[in-house]
Structure 1
């Protein structure tokens, strides 16, 4: 009997059942794929670190006899350290790496090094996730070079270090757990032992040491870092095995966002199910009344409906699980370029379990929604579903008082005023859909804006540049030579008609503590020359001006439990020096742990790890035109805008979010389209007699369609406005998790009015109204004699 009823219902409500099935398929696909992806990415990192034999703690320093001796001595004496070893890496300037086939230099913002294949710790793998060997004349490149230069296996690159120049065949692309993340600014190019020895033989080279520290069983990563921070040994970077996982945060974010999108879609599916079930039950008042009259119990009647929704849930869950396999593969491909991924039987089990839970939750929800059957009686069949009583006026609007609008528009507004409840599901869907579209757009616009550098503790700039050899040359030359060179660039630009103000920004690792020397920490130091500290953004306090003043990030101040007016101690080569905290700021550099010194602070340039020149146009008119012209006139200076600068050391994060945004946009627009089609068809089915009556009264098909369309359009416009306002008001809180983790404790999203208030609302409106027009074809086929139509 159930099968016969199911077949009849499927034929009778074909469009409605197809749309519900599509919802279940997409919901099941997204939840299954995101569950599998989330499990894969979270476990893959641990697996990647294990097979790579990652060291517990890692310290990167410039190599010198004195520095190397002190590092070995510290490793031997520190009771928290079980073993210490090192690998040499030769600094390779990006401008000294060329692509012979295209005759151009490599343009990359990361710090590149040349190294041998590691054999003990911190192993590297090829694109097939296998260990590999290299012959003389072959190289394995990091993925960031493949992406930025458009290289592929079989291409050649020419690397010049000192007086040694080699043309190498690209044999592999690396999966490097230490430096593979886009957030890691240091990258290594792997070459054969023979080629490395040739590069190492030149006198004009800079050696970087990668120190691998294995801690004792009882020690923690943090304890080892604190022991090192007590020394005055200068370092480029310090991190540990736990910190490495944090650098892959953007890869994990993809899985997390897809999970949130899945939950959103399931929530919408349940709203639609509730609306559909209640609509179907109210439409079937005659059948339910007759079944109760012949003695069928409520449970038996409910089971008839549950059979249908069990079939839809089972079909949707099964097809969704099957579709999740290639879809999760697509998402993994976008991540697995950097991470060594593993896919086992457990992935499929979790995906299948997610689909089963979706089916079970759907059935439970459907059962709860059939409670309306308990209240229906046999008399409802006689009264055509109505109890025959009304206790309020049927109209809150009067047509004769609204002569300024047409009759179809009046009818639409009147329906919304008197029967708003039946449109709540549609409004909630549109609001949530708008919210989930606008928030990522604001995030992307923030990362792509000119002010994005302020999130990294830097000042606003119109451009930045990094000339050939810049940084390495001036580590030895000192501040005066650096400022002379900066001034010479300004003069060259002025000769060609560009009035600019350029200053150097220097970054270096330093060690500070507040009260207890045993609680010291390595943090990133930042300092500019020839540029007032008052030009930077601060959360609280006043800019540091004196030599013994500095500004701390809010995250670092919270770590030490100090604030403005307190003092901190910096461990320097010549001893410990006390500074007063005059301001707090935010920075996503070094995961939020940074310090800014005043202009008066005297630093040892040899301790610096990064140099960049930032510039502003004194003429504030047509900055975009000036930037393009400047870039064309000075190609050798590698001039970039803020987004290009951020992408250079964080990887193409905005590009990854662009992909996620595209997926979200497609899914949400599809949801809007399907829900609109479903709701309009259901309303037309319920209002068949009303449409027939309007035709009998002389209304044209166009007027009836206008009545139906205006209702949806009003709901849509109001929902988009509310969703946009909600996204802009709450977007900072919704996005704060990832930004706070990286150190931006007070994020202000960049809202592009044309996109947020015009472009995307128009897209949503166009897609939704297209669904309305497609669904209104039933109006033409409705005949006058269907006024008393009762199936």
Structure 2
């Protein structure tokens, strides 16, 4: 009997049941797809790391090294399981010319440090897309997937290396996955050569840089090893990073992408459940006569509820199953960037089982939710259902026409606004969907605006200036510093500049363990940064520390800390805690000069008299200062550092905006079809009273437009209030050096283009759907 009832109901209410089935499928698909994407992201990264074996501790060093000293130190360090020193030959981008199908170009505009390497034996391997160790023949080259994405390189393109009067040609045979240099934020990238080719070039071109790598049974030991390594006076003319930072920086682009998609998925699931509720209520409204009849002949609430619940369970089984299958089909599209960046990863048994569990949870939620909505049947009386023909709209109080208060409004506006404001619950689905769709569009857009804004550099431990000059550590550090200063002092186009020297001192962490603290000292150090607590340092005995350092040391703004340097100790007051993602997020700022402490590097932030000369001056100074000094326009520095994240995020944001707009229009179409079916007799009566079809269409346009406008305004409000909180909660979980971001909105986009564009699309589809009102006539309803 249940099967016959379900079958007959499907045949009688095809549109409503199909709509409900689609929403259930939609909910299940999004929930399963979100989980599959999240698992695939971390699975792909983990599998790449398991094979590639990136170091738990990495110290980059330019200059001569004593291999015996490093080996002796590593062999005597307890907890170190393995270690190696990798040689990398650094070359400049202009030394590499690519001859491809789209033309010939060089890599002169690449800000990343480019190094030539040969394949390692067992650790820190460069892999192909299948996570296999890459082996190259003589004359072949493996280009990093990072450069492929930046320049559109293809297999078979020719690479011409010209340096130090040596010219050698290679063919791109493979695009390699580099587990530790997989992001523009790592500042370096590696090109793989055949062992014989590498041996022929080593010492003949470029400058050697060494990667000193350590491995531990417990990756947390890397921080302690770094302190011991630096205090031993071993080679450290370069950046030092640990496994955690390597992982986070490599995965940052995809983590941001997954975060945006998860946020969108959650919002879409919420919309889907709102629509499920509305669809069920529409079905119950349509069957109010039958429900009254069943109650009249003595059927209990549970019997009536089960008749509907069996149908919804059957729909849920089909919808969730179809949604789960669709999620697996679509997962390849949504995880394409992950596969490109971290290699091809097949769906594991764990992922499939977890997806099925999530599908089961969605099925359970649908059943529970449907049962809860169907409780409304209990409140329906036989008199309400059979005599009044209503039972779910319990109006309280007297009639509210309010027409006399709006005599100047046209009658269409009066009727429409009266229904919207006095019966808003009937239109709440439009309000909720439009509000959520607008948030789904604007939160990712604001996140993208923040990443692309020049002010984002303040989250990277730097002030916003025109040109950034970095003097690299090495034997010529002090002489290069003097040359840079001389150039800036003698150049009349310089408005002002600030210089910072990075020094290393010692302090203790929260556990009382000795740790090194890298401080950028300078008169302007710490100014213009984003502070979570306190402010920039002012007095000489004040220091500002990064968020990750504050967590490690266990101190907040206002507390004191003791620094040790040159056999003496000095107490400093922590003026503030700022956010930073550079140098692994472990930095500090102070105006104290630390006399006698040698600098590790120097940085100059330069402001020009004429901002239009930034590009020209950067090129001029770069040519004058030569090797060992990096000169970058700040805009270019930001673009190349965060460009990979921004480009991927821009694609996702565009898709999200289109999805949000399509979702709003789809729900409006479905809502109107159900609403028009329900309001058929009322429309026929309005026609009989003399209202034209155009009048009725205008009335519905006003209703939909008014509710949508309220929803958009609520969406703007919630975006501004909740958007930052959602993003900051995710950043806190990510463990980066950024905990709190002020989302930057574009007023033209948020308050003009998106709201009015979305409203125009909604009104357009509303007008199109309303073309069906011509079939509603009083004669038809009299005959029925």
Is 1:41 the equivalent of 2:34? no
Q: How does 1:26-425 map to 2 (within 5 A)?
A: 26-65=26-65, 68-100=67-99, 102-202=104-204, 205-215=206-216, 220-233=221-234, 234-247=236-249, 248-343=251-346, 344-386=348-390, 392-395=397-400, 397-425=401-429
Q: Distance in 2 between matches of 1:296 and 1:487?
A: 94
Q: How many residues are treated as equivalent by the alignment? A: 768
Moved more, 155-164 or 575-584: 575-584
The offset of 1:511, in angstroms, is 5.3
Residues 1:521 and 1:501: Cα distance change in structure 2 (over 3 Å): farther
The offset of 1:448, in angstroms, is 0.8
Q: Distance in 2 between matches of 1:327 and 1:239?
A: 37
Q: Distance in 2 between matches of 1:547 and 1:479?
A: 23
Post-superposition CA distance 1:327-368 (Å, at most 9, x none): 211122111222134223433333333333323322232122
1:552 corresponds to: 545
Q: Secondary structure at the match of 1:75?
A: helix
Residues 1:537 and 1:218: Cα distance change in structure 2 (over 3 Å): closer
Q: Distance in 2 between matches of 1:310 and 1:555?
A: 50
Q: Secondary structure at the match of 2:214?
A: strand
Which of 573, 576, 585 is residue 592 of structure 1 equivalent to?
585
Post-superposition CA distance 1:393-438 (Å, at most 9, x none): 211x432331221111111111122211122222222222222221
Residues 1:662 and 1:461: Cα distance change in structure 2 (over 3 Å): same
Q: Distance in 2 between matches of 1:686 and 1:671?
A: 22
Post-superposition CA distance 1:716-749 (Å, at most 9, x none): 1111111112111222211113444322344222
Post-superposition CA distance 1:55-82 (Å, at most 9, x none): 443332234235x554334223323334
Check conservation: 1:532, 1:599, Cα contact below 8 A: no
Check conservation: 2:467, 2:605, Cα contact below 8 A: yes
Is 1:447 the equivalent of 2:438? no
Residues 1:457 and 1:516: Cα distance change in structure 2 (over 3 Å): closer
Residues 1:767 and 1:404: Cα distance change in structure 2 (over 3 Å): same
2:627 corresponds to: none
Moved more, 260-269 or 596-605: 596-605
The offset of 1:710, in angstroms, is 0.9
The offset of 1:535, in angstroms, is 5.7
Moved more, 253-262 or 674-683: 253-262
Check conservation: 1:567, 1:580, Cα contact below 8 A: yes
Post-superposition CA distance 1:676-720 (Å, at most 9, x none): 122222222222221111111101111111111211111111111
2:696 corresponds to: 704
Q: Secondary structure at the match of 2:197?
A: helix
Q: How does 1:468-507 map to 2 (within 5 A)?
A: 475=477, 477-487=479-489, 490-491=491-492, 494=493, 500-501=494-495, 503=497
Is 1:762 the equivalent of 2:766? no
Q: Distance in 1 between matches of 2:727 and 2:717?
A: 15
Residues 1:140 and 1:295: Cα distance change in structure 2 (over 3 Å): same
Check conservation: 2:259, 2:730, Cα contact below 8 A: no
Q: Distance in 1 between matches of 2:619 and 2:698?
A: 55
Q: Distance in 2 between matches of 1:781 and 1:626?
A: 68
Check conservation: 1:588, 1:742, Cα contact below 8 A: yes
Q: Secondary structure at the match of 2:321?
A: helix
Post-superposition CA distance 1:232-279 (Å, at most 9, x none): 443523333344332213313433433333332222222222222123
Q: Secondary structure at the match of 1:325?
A: helix
Q: Distance in 1 between matches of 2:93 and 2:256?
A: 30
Q: Secondary structure at the match of 1:102?
A: strand
The offset of 1:109, in angstroms, is 1.7
The offset of 1:603, in angstroms, is 8.8
Gaps of 5+ in 1: 495-499
Q: How does 1:536-575 map to 2 (within 5 A)?
A: 543-544=536-537, 550-562=543-555, 563-564=557-558, 566-569=560-563
Residues 1:595 and 1:98: Cα distance change in structure 2 (over 3 Å): farther
Moved more, 100-109 or 400-409: 100-109
TM-score, normalising length: structure 2: 0.88
Residues 1:522 and 1:702: Cα distance change in structure 2 (over 3 Å): farther
Q: Secondary structure at the match of 1:106?
A: coil
Q: Secondary structure at the match of 1:38?
A: helix
Residues 1:354 and 1:168: Cα distance change in structure 2 (over 3 Å): same
Check conservation: 1:538, 1:583, Cα contact below 8 A: no
2:687 corresponds to: 695
Check conservation: 1:447, 1:643, Cα contact below 8 A: no
Check conservation: 2:112, 2:187, Cα contact below 8 A: yes
Check conservation: 1:524, 1:589, Cα contact below 8 A: no
Check conservation: 1:80, 1:224, Cα contact below 8 A: no
Gaps of 5+ in 2: 625-629
1:497 corresponds to: none
The offset of 1:662, in angstroms, is 2.4
Residues 1:564 and 1:689: Cα distance change in structure 2 (over 3 Å): same
Post-superposition CA distance 1:533-570 (Å, at most 9, x none): 65656566665577776432243234213344634426
1:663 corresponds to: 655
